[in-house]
Amino acid sequence: MKVKDLIKQLQEIENQDKYIHLLGNIENPEDEDCDIFFEDAEVWDDGEESITLFLNSYTKKTII
């Protein structure tokens, strides 16, 4: 994904005051037991042709 594509998708959100829920999955997207919740995201401008979107995560078991 390119930065401009992400920005375009975010700009299409009607209510720009909404929080972003960072959610991933390690195996089966339909299996909530495999969900990974991300606490925070950082953008690292660390490459000549790319950036890194660093996500800090904790497992679902940590919060239950």
The per-residue pLDDT for range 15-55, each reduced to its tens digit, is: 999 999 898 888 888 999 888 889 889 999 999 999 999 99
The torsion defined by the Cα of 36, 42, 43 and 47, in degrees rounded to 10, comes to: -80
Q: From CA 21, how far away is CA 40, in angstroms rounded?
A: 9
pLDDT in tens, 48-59: 999 999 999 865
This prediction has a pTM of: 0.65
CA-derived radius of gyration, the chain: 14
**Other residues' Cβ atoms within 10 Å of the Cβ of residue 54:** 12
